[in-house]
């Protein structure tokens, strides 16, 4: 259903396995060749604007980014299409990395997919601002809010934390830059991409699911459904026909 997201997650996991196998975090000379820094860019290591997105400082850093991408990425991939989604991911990660590096010490090294992830998250909240969400505050407390509240909160907190230097080991400006890039690209593409609602989860009463999809057809026309939603409607219709026939 989301091959680009699955591929990105797979690359992050594979790269972390290599980091662990070769003890890259313990070898500054090797880490500097792939992490993003002003010194590195000044010396011509331009590839680090991309490679830093697939390195992670530790297992917790990796899992936060991978799980966030795994949950929100498929919705944005379906909404924008694979090519635009991949482009948004890399542009957000690069924008966040460059913003963080511009205001950091020249030798400060940046790693992680957080900037790209924030771009994906803001893409979702920009496309579906009124959608109710349940977020985990500090990864513990469940809080219900609208998507636009989550997006705006991420932007404002990233800016505030960067200004007061709260937890300076975290790249708050990378989050900010990635989030703004993701929001802008989605705002730019939205009229042509015709953002669709996420695919309904195949649970509950089949008649209810059929009614929901039929309501979408009445409201938006059959072209308003994604390919997967059309297949769902066909399967539900076939299932209902077989039941009536029996």
Q: Where are the alpha helices (DSSP H) in 23-146?
A: 28-31, 38-42, 48-51, 59-80, 82-103, 114-127
Tell me the two tokens of residue 74: 């498929």
Let me know: does 188 contact 126? Beta carbons within 8 Å.
no
Catalytic residue among 114, 123, 158, 172: 114
Closest alpha carbon to 181 in 54, 102, 89: 89
Closest alpha carbon to 73 in 154, 150, 7, 139: 7
Let me know: does 51 contact 97? Beta carbons within 8 Å.
no
Q: Calculate helix-pair angle for 3-22, 59-80, nearest 10 degrees.
A: 160
Catalytic residue among 52, 56, 172, 175: 175
Let me know: does 213 contact 232? Beta carbons within 8 Å.
yes
Q: Is 23 a catalytic residue?
A: no
Q: Is 158 a catalytic residue?
A: no
Type and span of the H or E element at 145: strand 141-146
**36 DSSP β-pair partners:** 110
Residues labelled catalytic: 114, 175
């Amino acid at each position: 259903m989301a091959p680009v997201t699955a591929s990105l997650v797979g690359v992050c996991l594979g790269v972390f396995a290599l980091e662990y196998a070769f003890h890259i975090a313990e070898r500054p000379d090797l880490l500097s060749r792939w992490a993003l820094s002003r010194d590195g860019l000044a010396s011509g290591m331009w590839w680090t604007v991309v490679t830093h997105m697939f390195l992670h400082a530790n297992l917790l850093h990796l899992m936060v980014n991978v799980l966030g991408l795994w949950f929100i990425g498929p919705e944005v991939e379906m909404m924008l299409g694979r090519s635009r989604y991949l482009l948004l991911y890399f542009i957000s990660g690069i924008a966040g990395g460059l913003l963080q590096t511009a205001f950091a010490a020249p030798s400060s090294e940046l790693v992680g997919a957080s900037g790209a992830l924030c771009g994906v998250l803001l893409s979702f909240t920009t496309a579906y601002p009124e959608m109710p969400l349940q977020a985990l505050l500090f990864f513990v407390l469940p809080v219900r809010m609208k998507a636009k509240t989550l997006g705006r909160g991420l932007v404002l907190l990233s800016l505030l934390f960067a200004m007061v230097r709260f937890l300076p080991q975290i790249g708050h400006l990378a989050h900010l830059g990635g989030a703004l890039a993701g929001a802008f690209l989605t705002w730019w593409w939205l009229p042509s991409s015709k953002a669709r609602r996420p695919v309904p989860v195949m649970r509950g009463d089949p008649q209810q699911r059929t009614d929901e999809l039929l309501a979408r057809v009445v409201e938006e026309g059959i072209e308003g459904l994604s390919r997967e939603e059309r297949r769902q409607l066909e399967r539900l219709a076939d299932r209902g026909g077989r039941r009536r026939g029996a």
